[in-house]
Amino acid sequence: MGSRWFHMTAADLGRDIERGRINPVELAEGFLERIADHPLSTRIYARTTEARARAEAMAAASRARSGFRKGPLDGVPVSWKDLFDTAGTATEAGSALLQGRVPARDAEVVETATLSGLVCLGKTHMSELAFSGLGLNPVTATPPCLNDERAVPGGSSSGAATSVAYGLAPAALGSDTGGSVRIPAAWNDLVGLKTTAGRLPLRGVVPLCESFDTAGPLAHSVEDCALLLAAMEGRRPPVLSGATLAGARLAVLETVALDDLREGPALGFQDACARLARAGARIERLAFPPLSEAMGLTTILFTAEAWGIWRDRIEAAPEKMFPRILERFRVGAAFSAADHVAAWRRLRQIRREWAEAAAGFDAVLVPTAPILPPDARRLMTDQDYYVTENLLALRNTRIGNLMGLCALTLPTSQPSCGLSLMAPPGEEDRLLRLGAAGELALRCTGLDPAAPRHPGRGSPAAPSPPAMARRQTPSAARDGQKSHNPNDQPLGMDGKFWTAASGAAIVTQTGADQIPGQRQIWRFLSGFRTCRIMRFRACGNFSMRTPPAASPSP
């Protein structure tokens, strides 16, 4: 039994089971022991399922010995968010309203994943009834954030993300209604996949807003997410080998998604876009003004439906709820059925307009979240701070839910800052191939495993590491080396930032003149504003056309 198991991807564990190097029973026992011994495990797992895990692992070991494994993840342990029904084990969705709720049958996706050979380690903590993007839950537990244990981990799949980030599960299954897979994945430096609404069956999944609810994986790699989605569907996984960014056409969404962008997310997004371009992607800019109107419909669309689902249960015992969550639900009472129908009619029209506007792109890029994980203690004491940070946390991810898309978040060079790729509904396989190529392009990020990950939060800055150092591995993070080089400068095109002056493209070297936050990202992207980018090659060179001097920047 080796500690290296806790730092391996789910795919690598599956390959070692196939080769006979790992016994699924020993693997499950290793993770169960680690969960039992870990000082933070009670803040991550609501409950473990030891008997089930051992039985499923024994069956997987028998299949491995006989050469009849059910799939590439047969025998690999996973955690499940505590809103997926598990037969004979409490499923309470992070709420005292559901305390003692023990389903008699697995959720349909749990059944399918079990038939694919996944081993259930247990149920993970979550935001109450999945109605927050922060992961703060004083009713049950608030898991820690990998990069700052004083901060919230993101939600609502908070325990799902941290079970993987802290090495208490190789992978996790969560849900996403407005960002609940992607936010905690990004804030804990993981990969997270939001599936298209309706792709995975939700029978036996505690609902929040059934029109937008989806299920999806959180893991260390794009490959893991692809394999987990296939296991949840009971099908063959997509082929990711040979994936490339050469010729890919990507759009940076400039409407809404770049507003109020704070420094860390801006730096991570800028660096990620530059790396994708150098890997061969053609990056352009996309303005979509109707998105602002769609964002204004979110309260009607999400809250009214959530209130309709939960009103009777909530009003029977409102004192059992976290007041911040109770208030969010009750907002839905203000809307009529006519309001809700009209909002949906308008949203469907905006979705059609989005499909036309984004039709020429392989994916649309946004920062996964415009903010870093907020301080948990302040969220409990400052209501205005809670409301502001929760809305900002969910803002960019909600774009994918509103437009009915599938979306994938990847870690960037900045801790707790993700890059999201959004693709048309039902295009998960194509998105995963694009994500696999993007993951490779983002891999070298200059992280220093000996430096503090969040300068300014009680730790002094560390010197810069050698250029192009390999990204910090999951094992380093989970063994306490949760660190980041604060002096690592984001790379622009060929190590430079792009900006514009007097209608011409100019190059500014990185260094002390960098502008933080939103101004920083606009400065970077302004090159795309003043130059028509004709082509990117894999080497990072490109040709450009400078507009005439008389033509102002749009």
Q: Mean pLDDT across the chain, nearest whole number?
A: 85
Structure tokens at 358: 């984004």
Least confident of 42-46, 57-61, 396-400, 494-498: 494-498
Nearest alpha-carbon partner for 267 in 441, 474, 497, 438:
497
Q: Which residue in the list 180, 221, 413, 526 is annotated as catalytic? A: 180
- List beta partners, residue 218: 172, 192
CA gap 236, 71 in Å, rounded: 8
pLDDT at 511 over 70: no
pTM of the predicted model as reported, rounded to 2 decimal places: 0.85
- Options 3.40.50.11540, 3.30.420.270, 3.40.50.1100, 3.90.1300.10; which CATH number does 3-289+359-442 get? 3.90.1300.10
Concerning whether 81 is annotated as a catalytic residue, the answer is: yes
Concerning whether 95 is annotated as a catalytic residue, the answer is: no
Contact residues for 19 (Cβ-Cβ < 8 A; gap 6+) = none
CA gap 174, 214 in Å, rounded: 9
Q: Which residue in the list 41, 79, 116, 156 is annotated as catalytic? A: 156
CA gap 253, 286 in Å, rounded: 5
Cα dihedral across residues 332, 334, 337, 338: positive or negative: negative
pLDDT at 516 over 70: no
Q: Which residue in the list 41, 79, 81, 420 is annotated as catalytic? A: 81
**Confidence grade of residue 443 (pLDDT, cut at 50, 70, 90):** confident
CA gap 532, 304 in Å, rounded: 44
Query: Is the previous residue joined to 95 through a cis bond, with omega within 30 degrees of 0?
Result: no
How much is the average pLDDT of 54-63? 98
pLDDT at 542 over 50: no
Query: b/e map of 139-162 (b: 16 or more CB within 10 Å)?
Result: bbbbbbbbbbeebbbbbbbbbbbb
Torsion of CA 108, 109, 114, 117, to 10 degrees: 150
Q: Is residue 99 within 8 Å of residue 21, measured between CB atoms?
A: no
Condensed to tens digits (0 to 9), the pLDDT of residues 194-243 reads 999 999 999 999 999 999 999 999 999 999 999 999 999 999 999 999 99
Q: Could you tell me which residue, 368 or 536, shows the higher pLDDT?
A: 368
Condensed to tens digits (0 to 9), the pLDDT of residues 178-191 reads 999 999 999 999 99
Cα dihedral across residues 244, 245, 247, 248: positive or negative: positive
SS3 539: coil
**Confidence grade of residue 126 (pLDDT, cut at 50, 70, 90):** very high
What's the alpha-carbon Rg for the chain, to the nearest Å?
23
Least confident of 48-57, 254-263, 366-375, 476-485: 476-485
SS3 29: helix
533-540: which pairs have CB atoms within 8 A and are 24 or more residues apart? 533/282, 533/283, 533/284, 535/282, 536/277, 536/278, 536/280, 536/281, 536/282, 536/283, 537/280, 538/245, 538/246, 538/278, 538/279, 538/280, 539/278, 540/277, 540/278, 540/493, 540/494
**Residue listed under structure tokens 């205005």:** 384
DSSP string, 54-115: HHHHHHHHHHHHHT--SSTTTT-EEEEETTB-BTTB---TT-GGGTT---SS--HHHHHHHH
Condensed to tens digits (0 to 9), the pLDDT of residues 331-346 reads 999 999 999 999 999 9
Contact residues for 426 (Cβ-Cβ < 8 A; gap 6+) = 196, 199, 406
How much is the average pLDDT of 294-314? 98
- The CB-side HSE value for 203 (13 A sphere, CA atoms) comes to 7
Structure tokens at 196: 């298209």
- List beta partners, residue 507: 498
CA gap 280, 362 in Å, rounded: 13
Q: Is residue 247 within 8 Å of residue 282, measured between CB atoms?
A: yes
Concerning whether 156 is annotated as a catalytic residue, the answer is: yes
Condensed to tens digits (0 to 9), the pLDDT of residues 239-280 reads 999 999 999 999 999 999 999 999 999 999 999 999 999 999
- Residue 3: the pLDDT is 83
CA gap 242, 257 in Å, rounded: 31
How much is the average pLDDT of 419-439? 98
Q: In whole angstroms, how far apart are CA 412 and each of 295, 306, 416, 521? A: 26, 33, 8, 15
Domain residue extents for the chain? 3-289+359-442, 294-342
